[in-house]
Structure 1
Amino acid sequence: MYLIPRLIGLFVYVITLGIFYLIICKIDKKDLGKVLFLYTIVLSIIAYNFVPAVGNDLYRLLIAMHSYTQESISQIITTLKTSSTPITVLYFYIIGKFSKDGLLAAVTAFIFYNNVFYIFKKTAIKYSISSKNIALALLFFMSTGSYMEVISGIRTMLGISIVAVCFYKEEIEQKSIVLNIVWYIVAALIHPVALATVIIRFLLLIYQSLKIKNMISFFILFILCTGIFILGKNYINLMSEKAINYVTTENRHWYLWEFLIGCIDMFIIFIIQIKFLKNKNYTTHDSKMIRYFSFIKVINIIILISSIIEYNTFHRFAIFSSILINPILMILLNSKNENKKIYNIVFLSSIIMLFIACSRGNLCSLKFFE
């Protein structure tokens, strides 16, 4: 169904990815930010013109967005108070008021890729990553087909991208977590999966504070967590119930080809982790990278467990892991000892994932007309 529209949509996506891959291979790093921003704009334009099929999440979410825009201010305030995801309600309400359905996917794509490409850009500068290796890391991430999750699923990808960029700023750039508290709250109130990543982040942070016997950091975190719990207790309870129901529900979706893409993605991520652990320059001397690496290990344990019991959790956390792994992948690619071998493995796996995503994965739903 819709063969020609889908072929055109896939052609646009793949050609765009190929063009920006080649551009990044050739550019000077000082221009990387501009090129990635231009790519973000292009991806947002593609998202704006995406026409969802009846079975796509976006089709259902647009109906929800239309219903929110019909409510009065007092009604929307009541909805915000009673909803387990008030930020999503507010997000839909504001975008819906512009009466342009394409904006929901476009704005989400713009925010998501701005967050993800921030990590790319800052890592490239901080660790002097070569242009060729930056381009390959981009190809690897974009070949997973997660683009459809971004522009159709909307909420989960929006939330986890916020958590990922906050975590990167705190661990790699050593910025205070206090600056990101509001963003963590926003992410947690977007979707249960984002809430789960926020909880994991704070639990790990508390554990690390105790481990290094930094009691001042521990007490600050304890006070912050207590304050957030007291102020947002009702929302946290609602989100927790929704998260538990989300994982334990009997009506579970499972799609073989996306599961296969996720397995290939995670297999490569595990190889990256193993190779990186052998790189003593970072695992021995770079405490920031050790803490960053610890969070990814926790996420990957969850992915392994969920691969057996719950597809949706596996699928979304795998995408989250593929965002987080990019700095480590780029550093590893830049290593003289591992460069050629890892480069070939990642490149080949990227082509395989992209082929599956375009031929049988969710990405093949991308179309601009019917």
Structure 2
Amino acid sequence: MSLRLSVLDQTPVGEGHTPAEALRASVALAEAADLLGYTRYWTAEHHHSPGFAGTAPEILAGALLARTRHMRIGTGGVLLPRYEALKVAEVFGVLAALHPGRVDLGIGRAGGPAHNFERQLDELRMRLGLAPSVLPGLPSGLVAPVPPQMWLLGAGTRSAQLAGRLGTSFAFAHFLFPAPARAALEAYRGAYAAVPGRYPAQGVLAVRVVTADTAAKAEELAASVVLWRSRKDLGEDLPLPSPHTTRNHRWTGQETQRARSNGRVLVSGAPEQVREQLTRLAADHGVDELVVNTLTHDPADRLRSYELLAELFELPDRSGQDAPATASAPAPAPVG
């Protein structure tokens, strides 16, 4: 199986670094990933977190669209309950008009009261021209010539079934909660296939990964991620710890307990070990694309991890290519 790789960037802030430095590191990583052969690059949305600088994913996505040429760029994702559907449609209509065929709109249910989520989603799809409009007086002029590709993001079967029913693409957050991944993807494919005449369902798995040139270096980087996540689980939300901090940290009993669970979710190790694990994960879940999320204290270590993955999976080197007229992408599912 030929496996495609993409990037989910949470714009991590390392201990001793600033959010502004983290944002600039995201721009540099996207420029590199564009040439390394990654399929898409998603920016995440987080608020009030010292460990993440990505509070406005649509702004960062716009900057990255202007600085890259080949990848699809989008959000992973916009937390729709925080916003009016009209505003999200306007923002992504502008992005899609400026960069036709390259924009992904990933939508998440978190971020606020979600009792109106499906209504918001229906309105958003209609305003973007991804569903027939039944809204009286729907403003015209918001639909880009090539609308963004919509993705629903989830860590369970509810969003998976909704994505299948609506005919959108679906990304499962394996790095948050891996247990229901197979069930969710099967639910998505089943609901999607229930409507005849659609293009093949497009489901991907988002996985947290870290690798390095040596097993010892990879273990060191993984330990920092596990410490950060374990402390966060226990209410101590901090920037990504440095390897020095991690080596000298005295683990509490609760942190050690959380570390056992968090270590199982993280795919880490020497490059060949990681390739084997990722290939098996993709095959087990029936996907041909993995969205890779890598967190490190030092942006250079994060870049190196993505470089190694590109080499391992023989992604297409684009360093000598001219920019395409529009980035290639699967055709969107027919409305209906």
**Superposition TM-score tier, normalisation by shorter sequence:** 0.3 to 0.5
TM-score of the superposed pair, with normalisation by structure 1: 0.33
| Larger gyration radius, structure 1 or structure 2 | 1
Higher strand share: 2
Higher helix share: 1
Greater RCO, 1 or 2 (C-alpha within 8 Å, sep 6+): 1
